[in-house]
Each structure stands twice: as C-alpha cells, then as structure tokens.
C-alpha cells in the first residue's frame, strides 16, 4: 500500500499551477510593432525628438492660422529685436521673423520628406536589383554608383540647380537625384547576404517569380537599415536644402527657407543677431531631432536589444 502525503499533493498542485502560468506567459507573443515601440521608448532623446517633430509638423501644417503675419507682410520696423509684437524680431525689410520661421518649417519638412523618399526609392530599386541579380547588372550599377560618389554631391547639386532653377520642386528633384548612392550600397550588401539563406532557396525551388522573391521574401528582412537610414537621411536632406539656399541656388526669396534666412542674416550679425540666430536654432534642432529618432530606431529594430 502506498502512503500519499496530502501536503505534497497541495504543494505539487500549486507548483503545477505556477508552472502552467509561467508557460502561458512564455507562450504569449507580442506583436513586432509593440516590441519595437517598447524598446524605442527607452531612448528618452528619441521620444523627446518625436514630440518636437510632431509639434513642428503641426506648426507647419497650420502655419496660416498660427503665424501672426504672412511671409510677405511688412511693418515699418526694420531689424527690430525680439519684442511682444514680434517674438523673433523683424528682418531688413520689416517682415516678421517668427512667422517666416514657422513657414520655413513647412518648406524644410516638405523638401526633406519628399526628397528623401525619392532618394530612398531610387536607392532601394537599384540596390535590390544589383544585389539580387548580380553579374553584369551588378557591375554596371556599382560602377555608376562609384562615378556619382566620385563627384561631391553638393557640387553636383549646385550644377543641376543652376540649370533647373530654385523652385521647391526643382530642389526636391536635385537632392533626390544626387543622394541615393549610399542607400544603394546598403541595400545591395543586404540582398547579397540574404539571397544565400535557405528560405530564399526554398522560395526559388517552389517556383516563385523573381519579383516576388525580391519584394516579398528578401526586402522585408532588409528593411531595418533602410528605415534607420531613411530617417537620418531626412536630416541630411534638410541640411543640403539649407546649404543650397545659403549659396543662392536653392529656394528663392520670398519663400522663407531657413538656409536663405541664414544667408540674409549673416551680413547683420553685429547689428541684428536675431536674423541669424532663430532660423539657425530651428535648423539645428530639426536636424538633431531626426538624427536622435534614427538612433532610437536603430536600437529598437536591433534583435540583439530584445
């Protein structure tokens, strides 16, 4: 006859229940976006930068409602310092600097997002094509990329801008057509490594078409560096647009581009430093915000941080 200890039964039952709960917790699968957001929130600078860009986007969208003056409105006060009526002062012809900085956010964000998107599209297509097909196609794309990289992009952008002019659309095309080279190399390297994996060989054996293998099987696994680079590239595009406007080949007056405002204010640095200070601060904070968000996304999308 076997003697059973009742305390052992109760302890075993509690232990089994606890073990079952632990197994249930381990089996719970969080969505990828929730896992990425959980890791992204750990980076306080990235979260603060996202809030800053959200506020800046609202200001840019609703600029006609928020800005107290239009971009061409003038008052009979020239180079006046900051005051209650003009928070950032006025420029050399009596225009409100605060209003122009707000409208300048619309210009910079529009050019930054659209030009970066065009650059990403070109780099993604060329890099994916070169990395997946290889051979002669890879060689041709790689050599074209090297040729474009051999010319400083700002020089190439200035040369193209002198032909196309200084409208916003022209600046978007100029920057988008001259900044795709780095992403092309990144995507090409990712495709070269990913196409050797077993799941790609299995998809090929099942008879899937090449476009389907490229864009439905390989591309989703190559998006991590693309997302991070795309976020940071917006900051580079905004700086490039500011440089072109500063050099006089970008957006033209009276469009309130930050780079153009900095160029116009550099001559009055001693008498009216606010003309240079406020657009410079707006430009620096916006660029840093995109860089910090890119840094946060890099950590959040890294499986090693899981």
pLDDT computed for residue 57 by the predictor: 94
CB-based contact 178:159 (threshold 8 Å): no
pLDDT < 50 stretches in the chain: 1-16, 18-28
Sign, CA dihedral 280-284-285-286, equals positive
pLDDT of 79 reads 86
253/245 Cα distance (integer angstroms)? 9
Q: Which pLDDT value is given to residue 42?
A: 87
pTM of the predicted structure, to 2 decimals: 0.82
Sign of CA dihedral 98, 107, 241, 181: positive
pLDDT at position 219: 86
CA 88/CA 95 separation, integer angstroms: 10
pLDDT value at residue 206? 85
| Candidates 1.10.3720.10, 3.40.50.300, 3.40.50.1220, 1.10.287.3510; CATH matching 33-305 | 1.10.3720.10
- Residue 24 is predicted with a pLDDT of 45
Domains of the chain, by residue range, sit at 33-305
C-alpha 209/C-alpha 250 separation (Å) is 44
State how far the Cα of 172 lies from the Cα of 237, in Å rounded to an integer.
Answer: 9
- Say what the pLDDT of residue 217 is: 85
Q: Which residues pair with 90 in a beta bridge?
A: 96
| Local structure of 113: helix, strand or coil | helix
Residue 96's beta-bridge partner residues? 90
pLDDT at 81: 87
pLDDT confidence of residue 170? 87
d(CA 262, CA 273): 10
The Cβ-side half-sphere exposure at 88, using a 13 Å CA radius, reads 24
């Amino acid at each position: 006859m076997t003697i059973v200890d009742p305390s052992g039964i109760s302890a075993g039952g509690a232990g089994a229940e606890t073990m079952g709960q632990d197994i249930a917790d381990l089996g719970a699968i969080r969505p990828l976006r929730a896992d990425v957001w959980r890791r992204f929130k750990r980076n306080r600078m990235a979260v603060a930068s996202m809030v800053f860009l959200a506020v800046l986007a609202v200001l840019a969208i609703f600029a006609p409602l928020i800005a107290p003056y239009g971009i061409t409105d003038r008052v009979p006060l020239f180079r006046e310092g900051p005051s209650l009526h003009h928070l950032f002062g006025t420029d050399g012809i009596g225009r409100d600097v605060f209003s122009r900085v707000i409208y300048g956010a619309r210009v910079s964000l529009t050019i930054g997002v659209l030009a970066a998107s065009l650059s990403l599209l070109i780099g993604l297509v060329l890099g994916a094509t070169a990395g997946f097909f290889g051979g002669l196609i890879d060689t041709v794309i790689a050599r074209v990329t090297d040729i474009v990289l051999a010319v400083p992009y700002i020089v190439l952008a200035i040369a193209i801008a002198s032909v196309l002019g200084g409208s916003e659309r022209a600046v978007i095309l100029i920057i988008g057509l001259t900044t795709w080279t780095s992403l092309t190399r990144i995507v090409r390297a990712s495709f070269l490594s990913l196409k050797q994996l077993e799941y790609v060989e299995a998809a090929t054996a099942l008879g899937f078409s090449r476009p389907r293998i490229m864009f439905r099987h390989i591309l989703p696994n190559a998006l991590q560096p693309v997302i991070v680079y795309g976020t940071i590239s917006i900051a580079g595009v905004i700086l490039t647009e500011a440089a072109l406007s500063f050099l006089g080949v970008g957006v033209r007056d009276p469009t309130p581009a930050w780079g153009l405002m900095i160029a116009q204010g550099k001559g009055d640095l001693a008498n009216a430093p606010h003309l240079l200070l406020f657009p410079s601060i707006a430009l620096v904070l916006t660029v840093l915000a995109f860089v910090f968000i890119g840094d946060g996304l890099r950590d959040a999308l890294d499986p090693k941080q899981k």
